[in-house]
A and B are shown apart, each in its own frame.
Chain A
Amino acid sequence: MNFVVVVFPGSNCDDDMVYVLREVLGQNVTKIFHKETQLPQNTDCVIVPGGFSYGDYLRSGAIARFSPVMPAIEAHAKRGGYVWGICNGFQILTEAGLLEGALLKNNSQKYICKNVFLTPQSTQAPLTKSLQKNTYKIPIAHGDGRYYADNDTLKRMEDNAQILFKYCDELGNITPEHNPNGSLLNIAGVCSANHRVFGMMPHPERASDNLGANTDGKDLFLSLLQNFS
């Protein structure tokens, strides 16, 4: 697949994403700066990486959505292209309206960085379709990760298999104690109605390299590659 990783001022997981895609998975990757107004031809998947775009001043992702590159990403999504936002990227995609819901301050009021367990929910999204295990150990690192949407939206998303991941314990039990940030329904990631725009708070790119002794995150990339169409 041809991946594009977008760099906003303040992005800091862009190189991590490039490393995993290029060095671990052997994919084609192009980094583009947010001042570009066009995506490279043949772009299959746009990655909006984590970090603190525009310092997260005002509100996470609120300024980045006005970056010059955003109309091109929106057009790509409208054409049915893949877009994947991680952490700050997820926040940007909700601010831009490419994904439903919003990400609020963690209920602990603190930034949290640690390994958590996720259980895949959607059998329809390419990102989760081929995930075989019940739980995946993938780290989070955010201050604003509490997923919120109104009840009707949540119900519609659940019915349409748009919930990608929920926070759980090591065995897959979805409990309040294992919800690290107060997200509604323990939601850790969601996708668009056509199952091609993904957003998640946990960082699969941080759990993809053998050297780090945890490759649970790599399975997400492999699922996407396998189900790419």
Chain B
Amino acid sequence: MTTIETAQKLGLLPEEFQKIEEILGRNPNFTELSAYSVMWSEHCSYKNSILHLKTLPKNAMPSPFSKDKKVGVLAEAGQENAGLVAISEDLACAFKIESHNHPSALEPYQGAATGVGGINRDIFTMGARPIAQMNTLRFGDLTQDRTKYLLKGVVKGIGDYGNAFGVPTVAGEVYFDDCYNVNPLVNAFSAGIVEIGKTASAIAFGVGNPVFIVGSATGKDGIQGASFASKDITKDSLNDLPAVQVGDPFQEKLLLEASLEIIEKDLIIGMQDMGAAGIICSTAEMSAKGEAGMIINLDKVPLRQKNMQAWEMLLSESQERMLVVAKQGREKEILDIFEKWDLHCVQIGEVTDTKRLLFYHKGELVADLPAESLVLGGGAPIYKREQKEPDYFQKLKNFDINAIPQPQENDFPKIAKFLFSNLNICSRKWIYEQYDSMVGTANLGINRPADAGVVLVKSPKGKATEKALVMAVDCNGKYVQANPEIGAMIAVCESARNVVCAGGEPLAITNNLNFGNPYNPEVYWQFANAVKGIKNACEALGTPVTGGNVSFYNQYTNEKGEKLPVFPTPTIGMLGLLEDLSFQTTLSFQQADDLIYLLGKNQNDISSSEYLYNYIGEKQSPVPYFDLKNEIAVQKIVFDLIRKKMIQSAHDLSDGGLFVALAESSFQYNLGFEVQKPANLKDIRKDAFYFGEAQSRIIVSVKPENKVHFEEFLKENNFEDFLQIGHVTTENFKCDNAIWINDQDAKKLFEETLENYL
């Protein structure tokens, strides 16, 4: 007999308990109740977010970049373990991003490592071989020992797992802000390549088809991890440590090879990785999708611990496992392949047509559940939560740039030094050098760095193609906090801008929506508006949303009992395509005397810039200037300029503004620049021109002999927002005839700041 109290202890609401009794027509036993508690957790059911997620564009739309071309979406959001888009007539890319925030807050090494493992399983469970990874990280105050511990643990966890698994990390982003002190964010992205028509689906059907559990043995780790991810982090969270899983990249590598082999040989009906909620989730989702049922004998499950209860087996989140529904008659071939890779492969049940999941343990029926009732889109609850505009939102609008004194001439060297030694601007070298960025010999950005990762597409037979994937992850949480709708639009557009600057065409996005507690109406207002922003930006860019992840409850209760959510952080992972490798474009200036042009509209704006927020110390200002039409225009013109081979480099302006962007473009070849603030920008303050973060601006360098041709091309295309601001030099960073910082000192600060903190 279970009660409402038991249900509440498991994280269910009283009305949810009643609903379960209605579905079953009886009182659930403890095992059954546990199954609902994880399946109906936010993490698995998206119960508080799905209504908004459904408003996002899922299908192909007209693209502003290539006329008459639409993205071929082969697996829409929610259909499979990851999104799938066509990149040529015979190849497709599976890609997705996922969070592992709460585990990483408690146990940074394993939390981050298993995040990497989980996202890669989502890719290869579809039959795609992962070829590139990215990650996005958020940490608090790096002068605190705990933050250092979290950062070091997370980076080592990502590195140890990804390096051994053998997939390169090709891009990423990291921000620091006090709001992430207790609750860091760890989002991992992976992309893989598969031949069209050779994908696997997460589905079960066909009465009598055998069900196998493959990969690692099942233990007590990660039990109720999905529920743990669906509540606030508090000082009691350490008691949840068993909810954190333990990763083994070696097992995952073997599982990858064996899984791709059984898919390639067409031995299976379907396959799903066991991530959140383990056996119960994979059996329920596969059965529900195929309108089938299963009989499972839990006694057959290989265990790594004795005396496991049925509910523990159903909920265990032990890593590196898959559920495989085989084609009847092909069992021996499957067993042989797993034998070759020295992995467990055990038949634990078979498919039925009852649409029910029957679990037996020690000869007894321990759970009898309708598969459909457990899953999103089936019986799982859907809620509309209350929204309230937070008070701070209107107050930000009172910000007046004129209240911020303009810097004097002798302030500029101080600002320059500050920016290069600012944690949100300096090089992430200390982090990315711990990741294998080159395995696969396909990362084309190692010697030609760009705003996005560029990865050569090889055919599954190992031949190079003419194409590359171009990918970026972006989200400035400060902007989203200042204005969730516009901030989220900026996140989408910045990721697209980065893809475009590297030479790619934006195709589709995956998103990782990191927010606070959805039962807080102000947090929910942020969430709803951010989703609206993503929708608008994706429609303008023609990039459908093919999946992602929602992570709520990223907040902390301090000693005074105040709930402090993190900045709303809807991280965007943009997938783009470079259809011809000759369009690959670097962010680095190529040679002295090349002309530097600034494309896009300039504004008298310093709002939410690193300069204002961290140098001046003014935390209350609106989102930087942003206009979606201008954004599309500047991306489109750079996209076309690259295809006309008229530019030497392209780099977008982001954190730190123009001055930092110019320096970043100079570092690789130890070049310099000489620029002037144009006379016709007299209404724009000097600090706004050099350090402002008004959006939709890109610097490009052009060979002097192409000047006329270049400018004519812009005019022919009715693009008028361009300024020649200067040229590339062999040394020195010169702005309005002044050198604020020696270029070698800037580079040293840029490269060594992060390491010096640690």
Contact = CB atoms under 8 A, between A and B. Distances in A.
Interface of A: 9-10, 12-13, 15-16, 18-20, 22-23, 33, 35, 50-52, 54-57, 110-115, 139, 141, 143, 203, 205-206, 208-209, 211-214
Contacts of A16: 439-441
30 contacts: A10-B164, A10-B253, A10-B254, A13-B166, A15-B462, A16-B440, A16-B441, A19-B441, A22-B462, A23-B462, A51-B164, A52-B249, A52-B250, A52-B253, A55-B164, A55-B248, A55-B251, A56-B164, A110-B434, A111-B434, A112-B433, A113-B436, A115-B447, A141-B436, A141-B439, A206-B439, A211-B444, A211-B464, A211-B581, A212-B441
B438 A203 contact: yes
B560 interface: no
B434 A20 contact: no
A18 B443 CA distance: 17
A9 B249 CA distance: 11
B266 interface: no
A13 B446 CA distance: 17
Given A13-B166, A111-B434, 12 more contacts: A9-B250, A12-B253, A12-B439, A15-B440, A16-B441, A52-B249, A52-B253, A113-B434, A141-B438, A141-B439, A206-B439, A209-B464
10 smallest CB-CB distances across A and B, nearest first, come from A12-B166, A55-B250, A52-B164, A213-B447, A16-B441, A206-B438, A141-B436, A113-B436, A214-B447, A114-B433
Interface in B426-444: 433-441, 443-444
B469 interface: no
Nearest to B343: A9
A197 B446 CA distance: 30
B581 A111 contact: no
Contacts of B122: none
B212 interface: no
B340 interface: yes
A54 B341 CA distance: 11
A113 B447 contact: no
A113 B435 contact: yes
Contacts of A18: 462
Contact of A141 (B160, B163, B444, B463): B163
Nearest to B169: A113
B341 A9 contact: yes
A10 B250 contact: yes
Nearest to B468: A211
Contacts of A10: 164, 250, 253-254
A111 B435 CA distance: 8
A205 to B, nearest CB: 6
B342 A9 contact: yes
Given A9-B342, A12-B166, A16-B439, A213 B444 contact: yes
Contacts of B254: 9-10
A33 B463 CA distance: 21
A12 B165 contact: yes
B456 interface: yes
Contacts of B440: 15-16
Q: Which of B435, B439, B447, B464 has the most CB of A within 10 A?
A: B439
A139 B438 contact: yes
B117 to A, nearest CB: 13
B160 A111 contact: yes
Most chain B beta carbons < 10 A, residue from A16, A54, A110, A206: A206
A200 to B, nearest CB: 15
B164 A20 contact: no
B249 A206 contact: no
B107 to A, nearest CB: 20
Nearest to A35: B340
Interface string B164-186: 11100000000000000000000
Contacts of A206: 438-439, 441
A139 B164 contact: no
A212 B434 CA distance: 20
B446 A115 contact: yes
Contacts of A19: 441, 458, 462, 464
Interface centre among B156, B164, B248, B341 (most CB of A within 10 A): B164
B441 A51 contact: no
Range of interface residues on B (Cβ < 8 Å): 35 or more
B441 A111 contact: no
B157 to A, nearest CB: 12
A115 B447 CA distance: 9
Interface string B143-154: 000000000000
A117 B71 CA distance: 43
Contacts of B438: 113, 139, 141, 203, 206
B554 to A, nearest CB: 29
Contacts of B249: 52, 55
A13 B437 CA distance: 13
B235 interface: no
B443 to A, nearest CB: 7
B446 A214 contact: yes
Contacts of B251: 55
B210 to A, nearest CB: 26
B443 A212 contact: yes
A203 to B, nearest CB: 7
A37 B608 CA distance: 64
Contacts of B433: 112-114
Scoring B249, B251, B433 by chain A CB atoms within 10 A of each residue's CB, the highest score goes to B433
A80 to B, nearest CB: 30
B463 A23 contact: yes
Nearest to A209: B441
Nearest to B446: A212
B672 interface: no
B349 interface: no
B265 interface: no
B439 A212 contact: no
B159 interface: yes
A37 to B, nearest CB: 15
B448 interface: yes
A168 to B, nearest CB: 19
Contacts of B165: 12
Greatest chain A CB density within 10 A among B160, B163, B443, B444 is at: B163
B250 A54 contact: yes
A213 B448 contact: yes
A212 B447 contact: yes
Most buried by B among A19, A111, A143: A111
B446 A57 contact: no
B160 to A, nearest CB: 7
A108 to B, nearest CB: 10
Contacts of B439: 12-13, 16, 50, 141, 206
A22 B462 CA distance: 9
Nearest to A50: B439
A2 to B, nearest CB: 18
Contact of B464 (A23, A112, A205, A213): A23
A141 B440 CA distance: 12
Contacts of B164: 10, 12, 51-52, 55-56
A212 B462 contact: no
Nearest to A205: B441
A7 to B, nearest CB: 9
Contacts of B463: 23
A35 B341 CA distance: 10
Contacts of B340: 33, 35
Nearest to B581: A211
B159 A20 contact: no
B710 to A, nearest CB: 24
A25 to B, nearest CB: 13
B159 to A, nearest CB: 5
Contacts of A139: 438, 446
B193 to A, nearest CB: 13
Interface string B377-415: 000000000000000000000000000000000000000
A118 to B, nearest CB: 16
Interface string B239-257: 0000000001111011000
Nearest to B430: A110
